[in-house]
Amino acid sequence: MQDDWTENCPIRGELHDGLTAETASISPKYFYDALGSTLFEAICALPEYYPTRTEAQIFDQHAEDIAATVGKGVTMIDLGAGNCAKAARLFPSLQPRQYVPIDISTEFLREAVNGLRQKFPAIPMQEIAMDFSTSLQLPSTVGRENRLFFYPGSSLGNFAPEEALQFLRRMRHGLQLGEAGGVLLGIDLVKEKAVLDAAYDDALGVTAAFNRNALLHVNRLLGSDFVVDDWQHRGFFNPELSRIEMHLEARRDVTVTWCGGGRKFRQGERIHSENSYKFTPDGFNDLLRQAGFGQAKMWFDPQKWFMLCYARP
Please report, as ranges, the residues that interact with ligand AVI according to CB under 6 A: 43, 51, 153-155, 157-158, 200, 207, 274, 276
CB of 43 or CB of 296, closer to ligand AVI? 43
109's enclosing H/E stretch is helix 106-119
Tell me how far, at minimum, the Cβ of 212 lies from ligand AVI, in Å: 12
Tell me how far, at minimum, the Cβ of 43 lies from ligand AVI, in Å: 5
Question: Helix, strand or coil for residue 223?
Answer: coil
CB of 105 or CB of 155, closer to ligand AVI? 155
Distance CA 309, CA 285 (A): 9
CB of 75 or CB of 275, closer to ligand AVI? 275
14's enclosing H/E stretch is helix 10-20
CB of 123 or CB of 215, closer to ligand AVI? 215
Tell me how far, at minimum, the Cβ of 21 lies from ligand AVI, in Å: 21
CB of 31 or CB of 226, closer to ligand AVI? 31
Distance CA 12, CA 7 (A): 7
Chain centroid to CA 91: 21
Tell me how far, at minimum, the Cβ of 276 lies from ligand AVI, in Å: 3
For 278-289, b/e burial (b = at least 16 CB within 10 A) is bbebeebbebbe
CB-nearest residue to ligand AVI = 276
Residue 229, class by beta-carbon neighbours within 10 Å (0-12 exposed, 13-18 middle, 19+ buried)? Answer: exposed
Tell me how far, at minimum, the Cβ of 203 lies from ligand AVI, in Å: 14
